Structure 1
Amino acid sequence: MSDPFPDEIDEALWDEACRRADAIRGFLRRHPGGTTAGNVAWLAAELGLSQATAYRLVKLFRAGGTVLSLVDRKRGRPEGHRTLDEKREEIVRRTINASYLKRTRPTVSQLVRDVQTNCISAGLKPPHRRTIVARLEDIDLQKRARRRGEQKIVKATTAVPGAFGASRPLEVVQIDHTKADIFVVDEETRQPIGRPWLTLAMDICSRMVAGFYLTMDAPSRLSTSLCLLHSVFDKSAWLREREISEPWPVAGLPNTVHVDNGSDFRSRAFKRGCEDAGMAIEWRPPGEPRFGGHIERLIGTQMGKLHLLPGTTFSNEQELGEYDSKRHAALTLRELERYIALDIVGSYHQSIHSSLGRPPIAVWREHEGNIPLRLPQDRLRFWLTFLPEQERTMRPTGIHLFGLRYWSAALSADVGRSDRRLLVKYDPRDLARIFVRRPSGNFVEARYADVTLPSITLHEALTARRTLLAKGRREVDTRAIVRTALAQRELVDAATRKTAAARRGKASSKSKVDDRGWGSLRGVDSSKPVPFVEDTD
């Protein structure tokens, strides 16, 4: 069975694996020439493990290169992990929030006394001072300092405005979203369908655009993940598909991803995927937009270019004036995507950047030979980690998703074997194929059951379905439906009346026969024979 995805791992096991990964990465940087019994002993002591286990973990990490490869597969808590029972943990948490994280700045000793008093009052054994201090250290240092009003610590842990930067490419990549200042039109009808959202990734050192994603959907984990995937992988094939000949050399895993505090950047799957690949995540402090100045200036530059296009909304109402953005809209989402890509690789990358005094691509080329290019060791699994997913039942006809049917010969063995719903990963940019996790745990690629169908995007598929439904509704003759319903109602009423009348007539005829003298059996002893009277008439 294949390994689970990072977001399927127990929290305690994952945290321990991250701690091991950080220690082993530092160990491998310090000892690039190889391992010896002496330096592995130091690593074992740092991790609190035996030397044999340390050797095994180094070997696993070298082979896998991910946090996931270091997850303890044993049942129960990881070795060396200690925890209080739930009641005492809750008392410690509550007391820290109520008694310690205050502007009056109580001491740690006072906190320990408060925790011990609260535990004893609840009839519980108080935890040791070291345990309480460890819970304090679990709280982010800057968050703790802000709550306690410790401005020196806040300042020491906060980057100075304007000084945030990177010394080499892919050291820090910033990602952010914006609603594009332009209306786009439908592929078929050429009618305006709304303003798309643009997600951009930027390398801080070279100011190169690392990748982008354009969608009609609001910012989500999906748009963030697809932008990151576009940033990490080689873009040669992507450029060829859009008939763009200019180079876009940015590729590789960034050391740090710098993002704001949006919920899409804090999703469990996104965080785990980044951690598993060795990418740290830094969140911008809330309410301090200067920490995202680089990407925000890039967004402003890109929006300025869109103001030259038909259908632009400009930046504000004063600029817009009497211009009717919807009426003038002309570009589809696909055309706008190509326009933005052309502008990035053919104009922005080649122009002198005001902060660098040089074109971004020149800075990238200068460092290119020294960039420690890191790519995911298992490219497919890394890709699947960030793709959206749904669950579907395996039918005899295949997997049905978004009104499309998919099939793979590898799925034949699973038909009718289980009622279990299967995890399906898909790329909204290309619905020609999906990836299905079989009951065995392995993923298989499934393609259109109808191989003659062309590749389409999820947006195109959903739009086509809506168009068909709307067309079907327009083709409905409501008057004919009403006329038919009335005719059916009259038919039923007439049939009911005829049946009732026929039944009443049959009952009346029977009553007349019973009223004849000889025909009536009332008062006659049926046990005696009735004398025959001959009719003389």
Structure 2
Amino acid sequence: MNAPRILLRRGQRVEIDGRFLRFDRYGRGNEHIFEDEESEVPGVFGFKDLVRRVEKGTFALALDPLPAAGNGVRKVRSVEDLDDEVLRTETLRRLAYMLAWQADGKFLTSREALQPIIAATAVDGEKHKPGISTLRRWIGLWRNSGGDPLSLIPGIRERGNRRRQISPLLLDLVREGLDEHYLKPDAPSATSAHQAICKMIDERNASLPQDSRIAMPTLSLIYREVGRIDRYTLIFERYGKAAADRAFRPVGDAPPTARHNEVWEIDHTKVEGKKSDGDRLRVILTLDRDGAVIGEAWLTLALDRCTRMPMGWTVGFAPPSRAVAFSCLRHAILPKGYVADRYPEIRNEHPAFGAPGAIVVDNAAEFRSDSFVAACALLGIEVRYAPVAQPWHKGKIERFFRSFTEEVCQRVPGTRFAAYFQKHGKEPPPDEVATATLEEFRLYLHQWLIDVYSARKHRGLDMSPRDAWEQSVRTHGLLPPPGRNRLDTALVLVEHRTPQRYGIDYERLRYNSAELAAIRIAPGAPRDVTIRVDPDDLGAIRVRDPETNRDIRVSVIEKYRAYAEGLSLDEHAAHLALIANNAERFIGDDALLHARDFLRKSVDSLRGQRRRADRNRAARFLENERKREARRQADRTPVEDARPISDVLDDMLAGAVPSAPIPAEAPPPNPLPASFNAASDLPPTAVADEDTVDLEAARRRLGIDRNLDDGGYER
């Protein structure tokens, strides 16, 4: 009885355990004898040995090495070629002959052996049976490929001369010229690259004899070589690696969320539109109906990742800052009951509020600041940072801003092209066509967010954001948000100061009270205390009592009260910058008041200026003035009822939120010059390097010049 064996032909190439061998012959019993291609050492394998290797995937038929490239070399075909019906029919016909020849088991190629196979395999009505030489050629392809059916696909499309007739030197010059003149950031055309390459070759031919000159490339050759440049390389060379990675990165998504208030995305955007041709549209707003002050607004918004619900927002002339981020976070956490009273035109309510488990932000300075991280930690919020130049990690809010730009910004009265004066030099200036005020734009924004965006069906949710929010709330419930006292404690700037007998100095303002004196003289009191500063109101600070872990409110002393109540930190920085750069003009105890009055007069003069930067500066200043008046009329909640920090930490631990210690911001050196006299009555023991406002940056931002003369505000 014959022993089982693997059917192989002599000289057939196989791969066993990563080595390439040639089948030599069958040995005794079921032995298969192979010869190693490199060492020519024979190897013997039994039938079961080969079967085990087939099962493990360490035995396979191997293709013969391809000959050197050249004319007449057959291309290795792929399974996609079988999509062609003609090629598929012919391949199946050839395969039938190969299977019949293999089933015969003799593996002979003589005429006497092949004629019976052709006669038995040919189907009735087959007009063109293969000849003996044709069948031998098919057998050769079949053998060399290790029995791969793809080797039998006809090479009809490969007929003709496949060798390039272009000189290798010319081809090298063309590719070198494309690297130099086509793959450039200014994205030149193939025609201009062709002209540059021809000029380069012409200069080289000038020093060569007539019979050695290089032929000029045709434009068709340039287009063919351009077509061979892969898209990644093209974008990489023209626009950089980040653009290339962005264009060809596999489209993914942010980690999924299961419920509302699990993750928010927060970001800023300038209130502007964009046309399909790439032109930017400025949304020009006025501060009030007189139209004298115009500006371009910024929107800061928090979006719930799970439900796509807008959680909170703030819009104004002030650029992104810690104060703006805090304002947006406060608005997002608290209920929006004011909408019905302030905007009766809005039909729906906005039910979204509460604190998130985490927020995703970019790497802007206001989000990286210690104060922002500390505020989020006190509220039990984890801060996650999206990688630099990878906005898809917060893609939900980026897509939201696109809808906002298309549906709101481009429809606001007063929207004009950014290059307005260049395009329409004889047209009226923007302030004459800016018909929307900032408050009217806030109404447009509220209407769109509450009555349009939140109410319509979202393609990614298959329901509206409001329905998704309400469904999630019914399923998971809604945790109560932090109280206003805790928000007042958290959403402020955190600093550290040393109490003195005259109180605490912060940015050249002085704060003192009986409670602060008691903290200073208490037995075992630490040298430094933690203070919290509301950037929108410098009229008072909050000082942490280290014994009771409660915040006490410490007002500015009477000397600065008229100046500091309702004053924002940005306004105060402008006044300090004005004094620091004009010390001889602002001298004495009333220097800050004089600087404030001077700046107000200067802002009034800016209202009539044509420069956009001047008008934006005036808009920000006057908007702060109006906020101050509104705060003066509003009732403020006393801080003495704030919860102890121990209760806050207990809540954080109960919610499984990490309660890392809050890092303190390191105070930079004092930027004021030695000649500064606004606080000349400070005692010698005052700490001189505690101020953290960058006056030089404020001076540049506000356009304050040094050594002002009586001419007024210079830029």
Q: What's the TM-score once normalised by structure 1's chain length?
A: 0.47
Q: Larger radius of gyration, structure 1 or 2?
A: 2
Q: What's the TM-score once normalised by structure 2's chain length?
A: 0.37
